[in-house]
């Protein structure tokens, strides 16, 4: 059983910053593409950012220039640095790991941005 352990969610005012972190088992982290997804109230889950095992990154247009995804291959963690937060960034953020055989999801962590 693979568990992704998330931390860093919370409440922040518009314009502020938060840093999310997700720890994955070492047995899968090295060979997994990692990512963050979010689900806003009343909306479907959407991709926020991804980083491959070779450190190639992609971002949703709505967060590009404000968010940065990174991975630490020693600590087996992936982080999402979120700057210049907007109320529309509010939602449940999910860590995602994709080794070759299947995908795994974290439990989700709430991010609330007040206006």
**pLDDT value at position 94?**
98
Distance between CA atoms of 52 and 9, rounded to whole angstroms? 23
SS3 sequence, 15-32? CCCEEEEEECCHHHHCCC
| Mean per-residue pLDDT of the chain | 96
100 Cβ contact partners less than 8 Å away, ≥ 6 residues apart:
31
Q: Give the model confidence (pLDDT) of 63-78 as tens digits.
A: 999 999 999 999 999 9
Distance between CA atoms of 25 and 1, rounded to whole angstroms? 10
Mean pLDDT for 31-39 is 97
**pLDDT value at position 73?**
93
For residue 78, give the nearest of 105, 96, 58 by alpha carbon: 96
For residue 18, give the nearest of 66, 51, 50, 73 by alpha carbon: 66
pLDDT band at 1 (very low <50, low <70, confident <90, very high): confident
Distance between CA atoms of 55 and 62, rounded to whole angstroms? 21
């Amino acid at each position: 059983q693979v568990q992704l352990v998330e931390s860093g969610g919370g409440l922040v005012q518009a314009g502020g910053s938060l840093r999310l972190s997700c720890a994955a088992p070492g047995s899968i982290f090295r060979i997994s593409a990692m990512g963050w997804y979010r689900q806003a109230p009343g909306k479907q889950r959407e991709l926020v950012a991804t980083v491959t095992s070779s450190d190639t990154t992609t971002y949703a247009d709505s967060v590009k220039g404000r968010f940065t995804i990174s991975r630490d291959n020693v600590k087996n963690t992936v982080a999402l640095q979120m700057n210049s937060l907007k109320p529309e960034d509010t939602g449940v953020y999910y860590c995602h790991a994709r080794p070759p055989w299947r995908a795994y999801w974290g439990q989700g962590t709430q991010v609330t941005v007040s206006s």
